[in-house]
Structure 1
């Protein structure tokens, strides 16, 4: 006589199994080939395997999450706009700040000493032929940067505030898409 146990059938006795008929054995072999489940819990049965559990559909992002992503996008876009006018990097930013400070000091001093302006002195013969020329070029560039930087910052902060106040995803996205960065030229 054939035997069955959970998940298996055999022609020999299975420890913990139950005896089944030849007809049940044939059906069980056919079922195993088709991927069905053999069980003896509550009697001999052949059943379809359970449907695989589908992964849970992730919850759609909340309006606050979308706003946060859009605000981060505004910050990133503002930085890209800034990089059209300045060289990236913390060290470069410190250099620009030092040069701007030296230029302002130089232009405000009656009898400047070149040794007091090492960053500007490094540019003599490159940016301009004299220390006074370098100070003027650097000061003019800094003044222009202040205007463009302020315009970018104003747009950035305004867009982020408007996105924060948006009452729907569509409105927040429309604000993001409508941002127009300043153009100098």
Structure 2
């Protein structure tokens, strides 16, 4: 029978604990970001592609000097549901896209800043401080 004994130094133990704390903090950041995004968008498979297509179609419609609704199937399908006519609907879609970009920019800046703070943290206290930037994450 053979036994192997591995002895870790205090520094190795601390480094392992810090790496584990960073991994847990990243998981917390990702979970928080997932929920923050879900609060701002419709969380259905493929919906992001639909929104991109709607924005592109709305921009093309607005730029078209004499648009034919037959060329704009997404607009045609939603007229009278969300807005009374194609022009109002296109305007709404463009506005919603701009709103999402502003929200996305804020969330992405927070994600990147918090992630960088986690990555450069040298103590668990610094990791906790990084996560404190996420509203409600510590509660």
Please indicate the TM-score interval, normalised by the length of the shorter structure.
Answer: 0.7 to 0.9
Q: What does 1:70-109 correspond to in 2, within 5 Å?
A: 70-109=25-64
Shift in Å, 1:134: 0.7
Gaps of 5+ in 2: 1-12
Alignment match, 1:31: none
Aligned residue among 65, 74, 77 for 2:20: 65
Alignment match, 1:149: 104
- Listed one character per residue, the Cα deviations across residues 125-164 of structure 1 (whole Å, up to 9, x for unaligned) are 0111111111011110011000011110110111000110
Alignment match, 1:121: 76
Would the aligned equivalents of 2:118 and 2:127 in 1 still touch at CA under 8 Å? yes
- Counting matched residue pairs gives 123
- Listed one character per residue, the Cα deviations across residues 42-92 of structure 1 (whole Å, up to 9, x for unaligned) are xxxxxxxxxxxxxxxxx8852122112211221221121111121002311
Q: What does 1:45-64 correspond to in 2, within 5 Å?
A: 62-64=17-19
CA RMSD of aligned residues (A): 1.8
Alignment match, 2:10: none
SS at match of 1:145: helix
Bigger strand share = 1
Would the aligned equivalents of 2:32 and 2:134 in 1 still touch at CA under 8 Å? no
Gaps of 5+ in 1: 1-58
Runs ≥4 residues deviating over 4 A = none
Alignment match, 2:128: 173
Q: Find the aligned partners of 1:180 and 1:154 in 2 and give their Cα distance.
A: 14
